[in-house]
Amino acid sequence: MKNLTVICAVTCFAVLSSCKKEVKNDNPFFSDYETPFEVPPFDKIDTTHYIPAFEEGMKRGMQEIEAIVNNNSEPTFENTIYAFDRSGEFLTRVSKVFGNLNGANTNDQMQAIARKIDPLLTKYNDDIYLNEKLFQRIKTVYDKRHESKLDSQQVRVVEKYYRDFERRGANLAADKKDELRNLNKELSMLSLQFGQNLLAETNKNFKLEIKDSADLIGLPAGVIASAAEEAKAAGKQGWVFNLTKPSMIPFLQYSQKRDLREKIYRGYFMRGDNGNANDNNAIIAKIVKLRAQRAHLLGFPSHAAYVIDDNMAKTPENVNDFLMKLWTPALPMAKQEVVEMQKIIDREGGKYKLAPWDWWYYAEKVRKEKYDLDDSALRPYFSLTNVRDGMFMVASKLYGITFTKRTDLPVYEKDVETFEVKEADGKPVGILYLDYHPRPGKRAGAWCTNFRSAITEKGKRTDPIVSIVCNFTKPAADMPALLNWDEVTTLFHEFGHGLHGLFTQGEYYRTAGRVPRDYVELPSQIMENWAGETEVLKSYAKHYKTGEVMPDELMDKLQKSSLFNQGFETVEYLAASLLDLKYHNLGDSLPIKVSDFEKQSLTEAGLIPEILPRYRSTYFSHVFDGGYSAGYYVYIWAAVLDADAFNAFKESGNIYNPELAAKFRKNCLAECGSDEGMVQYKKFRGQDPSVDPLLKRRGLK
């Protein structure tokens, strides 16, 4: 059974009623997709199609489970494990389309569907993983796995599924299973509500409207033009800034109006914490309590212990020790950055202490002073199209693959791009969707997902359909979309996830491409390293008007500024990671209210008042609405691996070293699920990873 991590679900009875009338023959989900490469026919899919398709998917999936359970033959790998691995394919196809669009292009109807379907899917999954007869058949195969003539991959699949069932409560007594069902149901709805509240807080409930041009002082022309476009789209006069990072961050960097910087930043960091209908405080308290209860039920002292037991780190103590090794040198670096910025404030006659909403503004001044560099000088060289082509070039030189733009594939939004990916010999690899810009129905951030996973059956590979979704600066006036450096590296990052999905090889859904959560950021983060290499920059950093390559002097400044603001970036990230761990290491409910717990936890860690955690609790979507609970640490855990891996390329004298690229693709991308994460990494590297390259990269050593 493939992992149904999609958040799906509806309380809108009008929608439900209309869905019931849907004729199956008119529903695209009920037949093969008659599209090139069998991509989803987005132009034919309507919201009324989802509920009948979900209902049919759950019906078919349960029939497949019953066929396994009621098989009178002795349980074998084929009739039990393999049959289970292939069950639920119809439901997965529906879930992937709905889940991805509900994140990238949602609306009121989609959110209503989500509220209806989510508890049904939770029950469906519990009905499977708490099915005693099914578990006994899997246990029989598990107990005999070494006696049977199974190959190493089949043994691994058996062991993974057996462990999945154990971790999902299969060994619990009947009354405890009922308790687990109730916990799962309530948790799924709480997480769904958290996300919907946050979407409303981000995209609907705050706008910084400026009508007086004097309030635009300090802002670059491109930023002003974008704000004018935003106002026009909203039917407003003047200029509008919102809480998406392409709008907010440039305002914080350049606006000379301190009161307005505070206003927009306060709007951002108070999301979900305003005491209104979208307040997330009570939801967080309930989630933390219920997760702790579920962990106890499953035999773990805390939710963190439960989650991390399945990761490379293994224990919360290991994670905490690892984070503190980085926190200890990073905090003094951040404090020194405060000193540097306060000197500028004092020199300019400011009669105030640096506050969180001042950080971007004065950090930009520090960058100009120390490196003679500012963001506005870089943007003209980072047009979105050029950056995209640059990352394609890197992948082509590393792996020999090609990218051909397709204009004949259906898309869910008109500005989404599609590409056909092939090997150098023309053999298909998969399809790539790129969705770049913010819209009212898109959640914040950037992510990579898929509409179809890669799988091989009887020697024939079903090629994946991968999707990258971002929230980058939009085109404005006569300018194309011009990215800042953070957006450039973000695109390379998500593309790394995309390559992981495109290259995946395997015969079983349970292991093909499946890695621990603290490994999964290795494929993405390693790609960021290529973005700033000189020979890579020369291929894509070209002025959007003249086509001239970024001057060597500017390129040198960019590279030398790699240590710029690293204290802040490391500390704000680590603060969020430590906060996540604090919440989920509780063995019981929160002892105090959420805001007090957050403040107390960060004060104990020593966080300085000039820095907020990258995510405050009430908008910490990764852990309360995503798959990173007790796992936000994974980005920096994987950073040890990615820095060490890229160091191998650097030490070889060729950042496109074909031998290393082939080994990395095989062991760390294509076949990464065939063994444990560190085993696969060592197959590539030939040794344990060293933390030194990461420490040097962040200026911590």
In a domain, 655, yes or no: no
pLDDT of residue 378 exceeding 90, the answer is yes
pLDDT by residue (tens digit) across 92-120? 999 999 999 999 999 999 999 999 999 99
Angle at 249 between CA 243 and CA 251, to 5 degrees: 90
Give per-residue pLDDT as tens, 38-74.
999 999 999 999 999 999 999 999 999 999 999 999 9
Q: Is residue 312 part of a domain?
A: no
Q: Is 494 noted as a catalytic residue in this protein?
A: yes
On whether both 142 and 245 belong to a single domain, the answer is no
Q: Which among 518, 553, 581 is the end of a domain? A: 518
Residue after which a domain boundary falls, among 233, 253, 269: 269
* Per-residue pLDDT at 17: 38
Supply the pLDDT for residue 375: 87
- Name residues whose C-beta falls within 8 Å of residue 147's C-beta, 6 or more positions apart in sequence: none
Residues 21 and 147 in one domain: yes
388 and 510 part of one domain: yes
Position 1 in a domain: no
Catalytic choice (64, 494, 528, 671): 494
How many whole angstroms separate alpha carbon 231 and alpha carbon 237?
6
Residues 154 and 216 placed together within one structural domain of the fold: no
| Higher per-residue pLDDT: 534 or 25 | 534
The reply to whether 22 falls in a domain is yes
Residue 360 lies in a domain: no
Is 231 found in the same domain as 163?
Answer: no
Percent of the chain scored above 90 by pLDDT?
Answer: 94
User: Looking at the structure, do residues 19 and 163 belong to the same domain, yes or no?
Assistant: yes
Same domain for 216 and 158, yes or no, is no
150 and 35 assigned to the same domain: yes
Nearest to 16 by CA among 45, 58, 54, 42: 54
- Which two three-digit tokens encode residue 362? 């004065």
Residue 16 confidence (pLDDT) above 70: no
Verify that 245 and 144 share a domain, yes or no.
no
Domain of residue 165, CATH code: 1.10.1370.40
pLDDT of 24: 66
How far apart are the C-alpha atoms of 620 and 604, rounded to whole Å?
Answer: 20
β-sheet with 402-406: strand ranges across: 402-406, 417-422, 428-435, 465-469, 447-452
The count of domains in the chain is 3
Are 102 and 21 contained in the same domain? Answer: yes
- Tell me the CA distances in angstroms from 358 to 307, 361, 612, one per residue in order: 37, 5, 12
Please give the structure tokens belonging to residue 273. 């914490």
Query: Does 567 have pLDDT greater than 90?
Result: yes
User: For all residues of the chain together, what is the average pLDDT?
Assistant: 95
SS3 content of the chain, % helix, strand, coil (to 5): 60, 5, 35
Final residue belonging to a domain, choices 220, 245, 269: 269
Q: Are residues 107 and 222 in the same domain?
A: no
Residue 632 lies in a domain: no
Whether 479 has a pLDDT exceeding 80, the answer reads: yes
pLDDT tens by residue, 242-273: 999 999 999 999 999 999 999 999 999 999 99
User: Both 428 and 475 in a single domain?
Assistant: yes
CATH number for 470:
3.40.390.10
**pLDDT tens profile 171-212:** 999 999 999 999 999 999 999 999 999 999 998 889 999 999
Domain span holding position 103 = 13-129+131-171
66-to-62, 129, 138, 139, 512 alpha-carbon distances in Å: 6, 13, 14, 17, 25
Q: For position 218, what pLDDT does the model report?
A: 97
Nearest Cα to Cα of residue 539 among 72, 530, 333? 530
pLDDT at position 255? 98
Nearest CA to 225 out of 488, 484, 475, 546 is that of: 475
Question: 3-class secondary structure for 177-238?
Answer: HHHHHHHHHHHHHHHHHHHHHHHHHHHCCCCEEECCHHHHCCCCHHHHHHHHHHHHHCCCCC
Specify the pLDDT at position 14: 36
Q: What is the pTM of this model?
A: 0.93
Residue 23 banded pLDDT, cuts 50, 70, 90? very low
DSSP per-residue letters across 255-296: ---HHHHHHHHHHHHTTT-SSSTT--HHHHHHHHHHHHHHHH
The mean pLDDT of 605-627, rounded to a whole number, is 97
464 in Cβ contact with 428 (< 8 Å):
no
Rounded to the nearest 5°, which phi and psi values hold at 461? -90, 130
Quick check: is 676 in a domain?
no
Q: Is residue 85 part of a domain?
A: yes
Please say if the pLDDT value at position 477 is more than 90.
Answer: no
